Amino acid sequence: MSDWSWLKATLPSSRGGFNLRCASLHAPAAFLASCSQAGPLVEQILGHSPSPGILLESVVPALASAAARCDWRVPCDIDVPLHQRTLSHAIDEATLQQLLVSAPTTRSRALARSSSLPHAGDWLNVIPSASLGLHMHDRELRCCISYWLGVPLHSIPYSCPECQCSADIFGDHHVGCGGSGDSITRHNSVRDVIFTAAQSATLGPTKEVLGLVASSQTRPADVYLPHWTSGRPAALDIHVISPLQEQLVAEAAFTPSHALQVGVQRKLASNLPSCRSAGIECIPVVAETLGGLAHDTITIVNDICSAISDRGYGIDLHSTTRHLFHNLAISLWPGTLRYGSTGSPPSLLPVSDFLSDVHILDLGFVVKVQGQSTLGKTEAY
């Protein structure tokens, strides 16, 4: 496993990592936050405000180095609240920038940028439930984590058994291979999650409706809502796009949400005129294969969750919203790394040393890593 992948793993899942925080980086933030929170109590006990002390003064340079803030020299220089959440957030942002700058390839940079988009890391925070379809088997999850961290799944490129094209070692080809039908599986999985949620919200949804546009056999609505905003009907047109495909990866490496923007424009170009002529609101619902969601897609999901909450099922809005985003996150992964998870073709690499110490039960996994990488001893538990 490369130094770059190890660095990516130390980020929180919301920034494209694996939640393996590096203790040596975050210890100064924890210490300063603890001192700040305990200050009033210490002052109450002593009867006067305690002096910062040499130890506190010496911690600030370590924090400044981790957060890449050279202007932080003493505690009063720190311009964010002295809470561990905000201090660690500054460290995470600095680590992400380091990850982008040190990316060994254009693909790696695009992977880092796309996996840090809003909701991309939701799949790593799902509570496993086989009955709800929110689970992965051990081997499948290991391969998905490898793909997430940029670890090769295969030792050499080889011929895809479905389409006979050359397949890469990371698994990008299989994410978009038309021969396996996996892209259709992903699309339909996302559609079904949206459809089921709209049913729960009693929005009267229907799937793949024909005849919405006069004299046309096209299906601009994967999910059709007869009464949406202001009573107008809406056509939810679902599209899942890979930011790591050859045509998009170069721009995706430097432009945030580039693949999502391309997906939205494709759907608007193909369906907006016909929907507008029929008096139907055209709403592209676009997601990346790594889990990132377009801004309008997030808005649609939140609106559906609000409608569900208004029905009075006894579940608060926050829980409803989290559950739906988690369902969408898991629905994007079926079939993504089918050949990696099944062990075919023969060139599949064994599980890396890093993942061999990750103890997994379906999607609920307990991580305890005590290994030696080229970065030094891992300090995350």
Q: Give the span between the Cα atoms of 243 and 119, in whole angstroms.
A: 15
Given this model, what pLDDT does residue 263 score? 95
Alpha helices in 278-381 (DSSP H): 295-310, 317-331, 338-342, 353-356
3 state DSSP class of 238: strand
Given this model, what pLDDT does residue 320 score? 92
pLDDT in single tens digits along all 381 residues of the chain: 899 999 999 999 999 999 998 888 899 888 888 888 887 887 788 887 766 555 567 788 888 888 888 888 777 778 788 888 899 999 999 999 999 999 999 999 999 999 999 999 999 999 888 887 788 887 888 888 999 999 998 888 888 877 888 888 888 888 877 776 778 888 999 999 999 999 999 999 999 887 787 766 677 889 999 988 778 899 999 999 999 999 999 999 999 999 999 999 999 998 888 888 888 999 999 999 999 999 999 999 999 999 999 887 778 899 999 999 999 999 988 655 544 444 444 344 444 444 544 444 333 433 434 333 333 333 332
Given this model, what pLDDT does residue 62 score? 87
- The pTM score is 0.83
Q: Would you say 194 and 285 are in contact if contact means Cβ atoms under 8 Å apart?
A: yes
DSSP conformational letter for 281: E
Given this model, what pLDDT does residue 360 score? 40
3 state DSSP class of 312: coil
Dihedral sign computed on CA atoms, order 210, 214, 219, 225: negative
Q: Give the span between the Cα atoms of 285 and 199, in whole angstroms.
A: 17
DSSP conformational letter for 216: -
CB burial of residue 142 (10 Å; 0-12, 13-18, 19+) = buried
Given this model, what pLDDT does residue 380 score? 35
Q: For the chain, what percentages of helix, strand and coil (3-state, to nearest 5) are there? A: 50, 10, 40
Given this model, what pLDDT does residue 50 score? 66
- The answer for residues whose C-beta is within 8 angstroms of residue 262's C-beta and 6 or more apart is 241, 248
Q: Given the structure tokens 């609000």, which residue do they identify?
A: 306
List, as own/partner pairs, every contact residues 82-85 make where C-beta atoms lie below 8 angstroms and the sequence separation is at least 24, other chains included. Answer: 82/32, 82/33, 82/35, 82/36, 82/37, 83/33, 83/36, 83/37, 84/26, 84/29, 84/30, 84/33, 84/34
- Nearest residue to 143 (alpha-carbon basis) of 175, 119, 105: 175
Single-letter code of the amino acid located at 190:
V
Given this model, what pLDDT does residue 53 score? 59
Q: Would you say 381 and 19 are in contact if contact means Cβ atoms under 8 Å apart?
A: no
